[in-house]
Amino acid sequence: MGRKIAIVGAGAVGGYAGAHMVQAGEDVTFIDPWPEHVQHMRQHGLRVTHARDVPEFSVPVRALHVTDVQQLAKEKPIDIAFVCMKSYDTAWATMMIRQYLAPDGYVVSLQNCMNEETVAGIVGWGKTLGCIASSITVNLPAPGHIHRGAGKGGAAHTVFRTGEVHGRITERAKEICRLVGTADSATVTSNLWGERWSKLVANVMGNGLSACTGLTGGQMLESEPIRRFSTRLGSEAIRVGQAHGYQLEEILHLPPETIARAGEGDEAAMRACDERRFADGKRVSSEQRPSMGQDMQKGRRTEIEFMNGLVVREGEKIGLSCRANAALTDIVLRVERGELKPDPRHITELRLN
């Protein structure tokens, strides 16, 4: 208590975590570039709902539009800034909040993808921490409304993993764990980079597919060719991560090697993957869309170049070809530009040797 917290990007993940912090009595300022969202938060607060087993709640919040952030110069400095923007907005968002940090303040990347290096390039490695939100399934269906397409993880699944870039367990990593732990289960990790790449693999397997097909998570799961292609995407990403020396954690509640072998055609591994994914699918609303599918619906830029595109680029560095990820990246960019319409046939009719 007593620390001044900024949530830079009050979208699905930032809004969800931040609303729970406010509910717990923390001093939180929300900063966002969407005028209607900011205005709604100012007038009505933030409303949080769940698809399963959790009562909804609303909290009054302090919300600033990015054009109002200069007000912070007249106030007590920010102790902890959570950057929760899309990956392509990381640099400017970090630059914006940097000047309002306390001398011992720091920035936490609570985002998808691998953005700690970008953050550190602006505030320094000593002021950079990471926090992964795993299988959180949240969206922003309307201004001021955060919805989670599932219940809470609790003992069944640790949602938040917080850590230092150097891997040591520190008091500030524990503090971040406590803060995000107001929203759901959380732990401090000594393996931030392995956790990051493992979450990237999970995103690689679903986000771009939803964006280019227009399908929900449940619909993708029911399509065998799309499910198989999803596994191949994950397999390529796992092999790249292993080659880079990352210590990979469980991915979609499966050992990484199981997914990797399934994507390479191992029938036993494929059966294990299907069994696990169908079981997990029962705990999430079938109408829930991965974040990139939501972005495509809203006409927003996607993070495909920071997800599947990153896998391709990192694979090239070590001589690994990631043909499935390269093909998907190209398709999503074409849909994003309006050259194609979202359609499952982009994947079901794709031929890759």
CATH for 4-190? Answer: 3.40.50.720
Q: Are 24 and 15 in contact (CB under 8 A)?
A: no
Residue 150 has pLDDT above 90, yes or no: no
DSSP secondary structure string for all residues of 9-74: --SHHHHHHHHHHHHTT-EEEEEES-HHHHHHHHHH-EEEEESSS---EEE--EEEEGGGGGGGGG
- What's residue 168's pLDDT? 98
Distances (CA, A) of 306 to 75, 90, 111, 210, 301: 35, 11, 11, 16, 12
- What's residue 114's pLDDT? 97
Residue 329 has pLDDT above 60, yes or no: yes
User: How many Cβ atoms are within 10 Å of 139's Cβ, its own excluded?
Assistant: 21
pLDDT digits (tens, 9 = 90+) for 106-137: 999 999 999 999 999 999 999 999 999 998 99
Strand ranges for the chain from DSSP E? 4-8, 27-32, 46-50, 57-59, 62-65, 78-83, 101-109, 128-133, 138-142, 145-148, 160-164, 186-188
Query: Rounded to 5, what percent of the chain is helix, strand, coil?
Result: 50, 20, 30
Distances (CA, A) of 283 to 50, 131, 148, 199, 206: 12, 23, 12, 19, 16
- Please say whether the structural domain 195-348 has been given the CATH code 1.10.1040.10: yes
Q: Are 41 and 10 in contact (CB under 8 A)?
A: yes
pLDDT digits (tens, 9 = 90+) for 263-286: 999 999 999 999 999 998 888 877
**Residue 63: Cβ-neighbour burial (10 angstroms; 0-12, 13-18, 19+):** buried
- What's residue 108's pLDDT? 98
Residue 125: CB partners within 8 Å, gap ≥ 6?
Answer: 165, 166
Q: What does pTM read for this prediction?
A: 0.94
- What's residue 1's pLDDT? 52
Q: Where are the domains of the chain?
A: 4-190, 195-348
Here the tokens at position 17 are 């975590």
Distances (CA, A) of 199 to 48, 99, 121, 331: 24, 30, 22, 22
SS3 147: strand
CA 7 to chain centre: 15
User: How many Cβ atoms are within 10 Å of 104's Cβ, its own excluded?
Assistant: 10
Mean predicted lDDT score pLDDT of the chain: 96
